[in-house]
């Protein structure tokens, strides 16, 4: 474990912060052993699916509407990977930051790990695999996992249609309530912003980090590689999320022996 540069600076700023914003992407869940759906070590590794479709097409709103069984097949594979993993130390430390100052977490992840770790103020911009709903009649329900679903797509108990997860598929619009909540956070301002495990290619993920200087906030990036926002970071920790948050928890004297939320 290499010492983090400017760790005392970040810890001191946290201890005096009035509001904190944490932005996370797939990299934070990689420390849980959760593979991404594509890329090195991913579920598909850049190749077509067994249905001869790019994964971006299989996981699109158009295919969900026309051939939901195909989209459900690959969503269930992602859910299976989530079921065998869980929140890691980074998720738990982030949840504990709320004990220092009001903390909002903006995540692109659909694995539900932040929620399981105990984060209360959570913006799941791309939705959650475990919240299901019917586009036809509006029936909604939550499931712990997909093991109890007898068929895919699962039938809707309220009508003759089928359920789908409340996630943003390729080609679909972002949820309006999440966008409104994010705008409220930007309007309120924050004293420190973390960007953790995301390449920040989407404008709505990069913007809150890029606004840090305008707001007088400290911008801290945690990522092994350079990203779209690296040049605008005040502090860069080039390592994994769990390593960085472990050192931060120690600097803040947080007792992580009994973390909030679900299992690690």
Contacts for 203 with CB less than 8 Å, ≥ 6 apart: none
Summarize the confidence of residues 219-228 as an average pLDDT.
Answer: 96
φ and ψ at residue 203, rounded to 5 degrees: -60, -35
Q: How far apart are the first and last CA of the chain?
A: 20
Summarize the confidence of residues 96-106 as an average pLDDT.
Answer: 97
Six token digits for residue 22: 């944490």
Whether the CB-CB separation of 188 and 157 falls below 8 Å is answered with no
- If one compares 45 and 34, the residue with the highest pLDDT of the two is 34
pLDDT digits (tens, 9 = 90+) for 148-193: 998 999 999 999 899 999 999 999 999 999 999 999 999 999 999 9
Min mean pLDDT across 79-83, 136-140, 175-179 is at: 79-83
Summarize the confidence of residues 189-215 as an average pLDDT.
Answer: 96
Whether the CB-CB separation of 177 and 8 falls below 8 Å is answered with no
Q: How far is residue 101's CA from residue 11's CA, in Å, rounded to a whole number?
A: 12
Q: According to the model, what pLDDT value does residue 40 have?
A: 37
Neighbour tally for 80: CB within 10 Å? 13
- If one compares 153 and 56, the residue with the highest pLDDT of the two is 153
Three-state SS for 71-86 is: HHHHHHHHHHHHHCCC
Cis amide prior to 157 (ω within 30 degrees) = no
Q: According to the model, what pLDDT value does residue 263 have?
A: 41
Indicate if the pLDDT at residue 262 is higher than 80. no
Q: How far is residue 229's CA from residue 68's CA, in Å, rounded to a whole number?
A: 36
Which residue has 């103020």 as its token pair? 121
Indicate if the pLDDT at residue 223 is higher than 70. yes
Task: Give residue 48's pLDDT band: very low, low, confident or very high (50, 70, 90).
Answer: low
Q: Which domains does the chain have, with CATH numbers?
A: 7-34+86-126+173-251 (3.40.50.1220), 55-84+132-167 (3.30.1600.10)
Say how many CA atoms lie within 13 Å of 24 toward its Cβ.
31
Say how many CA atoms lie within 13 Å of 139 toward its Cβ.
14
Indicate if the pLDDT at residue 60 is higher than 70. yes
Active site members: 126
Average pLDDT, the chain: 92
Please report the sign of the dihedral spanned by the C-alpha atoms of residue 113, residue 117, residue 120, residue 121.
Answer: negative
What is the bridge-based pairing of β-strands 192-196 and 103-107?
Answer: unpaired
Indicate if the pLDDT at residue 47 is higher than 60. no
pLDDT digits (tens, 9 = 90+) for 25-37: 999 999 998 865 4
pLDDT digits (tens, 9 = 90+) for 106-123: 999 999 999 999 999 999
Q: According to the model, what pLDDT value does residue 38 have?
A: 43
Indicate if the pLDDT at residue 44 is higher than 70. no
């Amino acid at each position: 474990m290499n010492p983090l540069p400017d760790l005392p600076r970040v810890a001191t700023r946290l201890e005096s912060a009035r509001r904190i914003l944490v932005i996370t992407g797939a990299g934070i869940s990689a420390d849980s052993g959760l593979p991404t759906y594509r890329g090195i070590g991913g579920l598909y590794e850049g190749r077509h699916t067994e249905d001869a479709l790019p994964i971006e097409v299989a996981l699109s709103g158009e295919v969900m509407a026309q051939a939901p069984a195909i989209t459900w097949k690959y969503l269930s594979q992602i859910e299976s990977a989530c079921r065998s993993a869980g929140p890691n130390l980074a998720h738990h430390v982030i949840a504990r930051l709320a004990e220092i100052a009001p903390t909002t977490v903006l995540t692109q992840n659909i694995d539900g790990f932040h929620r399981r770790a105990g984060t209360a103020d959570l913006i799941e911009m791309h939705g959650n695999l475990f919240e299901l709903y019917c586009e036809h009649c509006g029936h909604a329900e939550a499931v712990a996992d997909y093991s109890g679903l007898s068929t895919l797509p699962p039938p809707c108990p309220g009508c003759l249609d089928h359920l789908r997860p409340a996630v943003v598929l390729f080609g679909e619009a972002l949820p309006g309530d999440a966008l409104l909540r994010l705008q409220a956070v930007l309007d309120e301002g924050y004293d420190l912003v973390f960007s953790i495990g995301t390449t920040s290619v989407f404008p709505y993920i990069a913007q809150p980090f890029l606004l840090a200087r305008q707001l007088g906030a400290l911008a801290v990036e945690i990522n092994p590689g350079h990203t779209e926002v690296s040049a605008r970071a005040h502090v860069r920790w080039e390592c994994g999320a769990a390593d960085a948050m472990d050192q931060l928890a120690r600097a803040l004297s947080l007792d992580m022996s009994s973390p909030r939320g679900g299992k690690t």
